[in-house]
Amino acid sequence: MAETVLETEGLTMRFGGVTAVDGVSLKVRARELRCLIGPNGAGKSTCFKCLCGLLKPTEGHVFLRGEETTGWDPHRIAAMGVGIKMQVSSVMDGLSVQENIWMAARRHNDTGAATAKAEEVIDRLALGPIARTDLGRLAHGERQRVELGLVMAQDPWLVLLDEPAAGMTGEEVTRMAEIIHEMTRSAAVVVVEHDMQFIRSLASTVTVFHRGRVLVEDHVDRVMADPVVRDVYLGKQA
Amino acid sequence: MAMTTGRSAARDTGVVVILGALLVLGLPLVADTNMLTLLVIYGMLALSLGLIWGFGGILCFGQAAFFGLGAYTFAIAGINIGESTLPLVLSVLVPAAVAALLGAFMFYGRLGDVYLAVITLVFSLILFRWLNTTAGPAYVIGNARLGGFNGIPGFPLLNVPGYPRWELWGDPLYYVAAVALLVVFLLVSWLLRSSFGRIAIGIRENEERVSLLGYDIRARKTVLFAIGAGIAGLAGALFAAWAEVVTPSLFSLQQSAEIIIWCIVGGLGTRFGPVLGAAVVTSVKITLGGQAMLDNMLVLGLILVLFVLFLPRGIAPELARLWAWAIGGNRKPVRRRAPRGGVADG
Ligand SMILES: Nc1ncnc2c1ncn2[C@@H]1O[C@H](COP(=O)(O)OP(=O)(O)OP(=O)(O)O)[C@@H](O)[C@H]1O
Ligand SMILES: [Mg+2]
């Protein structure tokens, strides 16, 4: 069994009276691909924010590669080698694609190596034609791709992607799935998604969130067949 | 559009040096050097805020505090030491150190932009109020009396390093100040091309994203804030050498407000804009100062409102557009979108 790179113990996040994440215990191993699904408001994004330090959990613990990182600042967690893409697209709008990706690469490389790394990621994601364009001028799908590029350029061993395929066209989604698979050669990848088609194409272990708790955790095919999950998703596309 | 390659960096430096030298040598032919010295000093002060605000996204409402600290440091250290070389160095270091402390407090305390503006403003007003109360003989630092609202006169002026008797004033002071501005301008350009500068621009664009890339934005903002304060402090020292007296009015609200107006009028997010803005606004102010019809502050306010409404990106980007159009021949001037493109300006 590969080493555990991400572990949470009884992770809980409350906002006033709302318990968004309620005693979640997760374990993700090196180079594993894990999908998190669940209806709107299930607490997936909140859980993500606790993992990457944007929120300090009310209770519970987070361990990354065996080290307790509960309550650490985001930059320390990211600097360990964790690549993060939040649900709401977040990039440096006034800067070019190249400059954005260079900045991600620069964290663990000197200037020259970062430039080369950015070049490589731009090629890999076929961003060449828009490399000099400011992010603010790009279409939604392109921005998503650039954000993936930021994550790739960091050479992470743990990748957290919150709805990376949202708002993308069918072709773009297929490409995204390919890229995610490729990432698992060097990193454990945790993906939050709603698109069942996409999740099936990733064919991985799925953790289902419901009202802040983990409902089931199993292979995607068995999860999809589970009547409880279908019930939770009633009215959704499952 | 950041100038990343060595060639474009060398070209940029060449253009700045040549244009700068032409201006330094040419301007005295058309204007009085005494006034030009003041414009140069204010230009440097504007550049200090232009750096941290326009490129670092740090809106400091109390940049005058570091200007004043630099001036007072120069005067006080000069009286105690008897010449100006070490005081000049201290007038950069003292404001930078104070800003590092204040910045660490603000950035590590995660204060929002509004609180940052308020705290920097209050900080400069506290110094202003306090210095006004230091009239008595009890308020001395070494041999220097702080002198309350009258300030400190009679400190050693700028001298040639190692030769306290060779004091620089008049035309020589203008050339020293102008060359200092050119050097600071080149250093700022270099800083903005460096990794530190490029990441600072990233922080301006999206703080959270940059921290999620693994950068400690608190430390970086603190350092940038201190650099800006050091530049403001140098401007303060030159101002002291020019005015031959330092008074608490250096720390006044009006002084802080004017620096912000210079940056907006000249063009935020450009290097040249704030310098130009300081020169234009100060010239207008001096011209109007000769008459009593219009209140100065009213005119400055009016200029600010007109710019915010009709030329929100400031003068420099429009000049750059005209320039590109002029050398591009028949190509039409293209209006670029946001006022925030890397370091691409004149
Ligand atoms: N900052 C906050 N303050 C208060 N409540 C919040 C906050 N952030 C999230 N919540 C609440 O926590 C719950 C979980 O939200 P979260 O965004 O984690 O859900 P999600 O599973 O990501 O949903 P979606 O699929 O729509 O993205 C929701 O009820 C939400 O309203
Ligand atoms: Mg979400």
B10 & B79 share domain: no
pLDDT of residue B91: 98
Question: By the CB < 8 Å criterion, does A115 face chain B?
Answer: yes
pLDDT of residue A216: 87
Please, which pLDDT band fits residue B300 given cuts at 50, 70 and 90? confident
Secondary structure letter of residue A135 according to DSSP: G
Residue A212 in contact with ligand 1 by CB distance below 6 A: no
Span B312-337, average pLDDT = 73
pLDDT of residue B293: 65
Q: Give the containing element (helix H, strand E) for A6.
A: strand A4-15
| Cα B317 from Cα B274, distance rounded (Å) | 11
Q: Which domain holds residue B9?
A: 1-27
Span B97-120, average pLDDT = 94
Q: Whose alpha carbon is nearest atom 5 of ligand 1?
A: A15
Q: Which ligand 1 atom is nearest residue A13's CA? A: 12
Nearest alpha-carbon partner for A22 in A52, A55, A44: A44
Predicted TM-score (pTM) of this structure: 0.91
pLDDT of residue B108: 95
> b/e per residue, A100-130, with b = 16+ CB within 10 A?
bbbbbbbbbbeeeebbebbbebbeebebeeb
Q: Indicate the average pLDDT of chain A.
A: 91
Span B16-25, average pLDDT = 94
Give residue-wise pLDDT tens across range A120-130: 999 999 999 99
Q: Which residues of B touch A103 (CB under 8 A)?
A: 198-199, 202, 210, 213
pLDDT of residue A80: 95
Residue to test with chain B: of A55, A80, A91, A99, most B Cβ within 10 A: A99
Q: Indicate the average pLDDT of chain B.
A: 90
Please, which pLDDT band fits residue A113 given cuts at 50, 70 and 90? very high
B204 & B185 share domain: yes
| pLDDT at residue B163 is higher than 90 | no
Q: Whose alpha carbon is nearest atom 17 of ligand 1?
A: A45
Question: By the CB < 8 Å criterion, does A105 face chain B?
Answer: no
8 A C-beta contact, residue A132 and residue A98: yes
Span B249-265, average pLDDT = 94
Residue B340 lies in a domain: no
| pLDDT at residue B162 is higher than 80 | yes
Span B32-41, average pLDDT = 96
How many whole angstroms from its chain centre is CA A195?
14
B40 & B182 share domain: yes
B65 & B10 share domain: no
| pLDDT at residue B246 is higher than 80 | yes
| pLDDT at residue B266 is higher than 90 | yes
Which of 202-231 (B) contact A at CB < 8 A? Answer: 202, 204-206, 208-217
B7 & B121 share domain: no
Count of structural domains within chain B = 2
pLDDT of residue B343: 45
Give residue-wise pLDDT tens across range A139-191: 888 898 999 999 999 999 999 999 998 888 888 888 888 999 999 999 999 99
Distance, CA A62 to ligand 1 centroid (Å)? 19
Q: Hey, what long-range contacts does B11-18 have (CB within 8 A, 24 or more apart)?
A: B12/B189, B13/B186, B13/B189, B16/B182, B16/B185, B16/B186, B16/B189, B17/B182, B17/B186
Share of chain A above pLDDT 70, in %: 97
Q: Which residues of B touch A134 (CB under 8 A)?
A: 337-338, 341
| Cα B20 from Cα B18, distance rounded (Å) | 5
B19 & B67 share domain: no
Please, which pLDDT band fits residue A1 given cuts at 50, 70 and 90? low
Span A87-101, average pLDDT = 94
Closest chain B residue to the Cα of A131, Cα to Cα: B1
Give residue-wise pLDDT tens across range B38-81: 999 999 999 999 999 999 999 999 999 999 999 999 999 999 99
| Cα B18 from Cα A151, distance rounded (Å) | 42
| pLDDT at residue A79 is higher than 50 | yes
B253 & B310 share domain: yes
Please, which pLDDT band fits residue B110 given cuts at 50, 70 and 90? confident
| Cα B243 from Cα B35, distance rounded (Å) | 11
pLDDT of residue B291: 66
The ipTM assigned to this model is: 0.92
DSSP SS3 for A26: strand
B224 & B239 share domain: yes
Residue B339 lies in a domain: no
Q: Which ligand 1 atom is nearest residue A43's CA? A: 18
pLDDT of residue B344: 42
CA A163 to each of CA A36, A191, A194, B244, B266: distance values in angstroms, whole numbers, following the listed order: 10, 7, 7, 63, 42
**CATH architecture type of domain A1-77+194-238:** 3-Layer(aba) Sandwich (3.40)
B140 & B20 share domain: no
Span B99-115, average pLDDT = 93
B176 & B322 share domain: yes
Q: Which of A14, A18, A22 to mutate to test the pocket of ligand 1 (most atoms within 8 A of CB)?
A: A18
| Cα A99 from Cα A93, distance rounded (Å) | 11
Q: What does the DSSP assignment read for B70-91?
A: HHHHHHHHHHHHSSSHHHHHHH
Q: Which residues of A touch B198 (CB under 8 A)?
A: 99, 102-103, 106
| pLDDT at residue A214 is higher than 50 | yes
Residue A192 pairs in a beta bridge with A36, A162
B292, with CB counted inside 10 A (0-12, 13-18, 19+), is exposed
B132 & B14 share domain: no
Residue B334 lies in a domain: no
| pLDDT at residue A81 is higher than 90 | yes
B14 & B67 share domain: no
Q: Which residues of B touch A96 (CB under 8 A)?
A: 1-2, 342
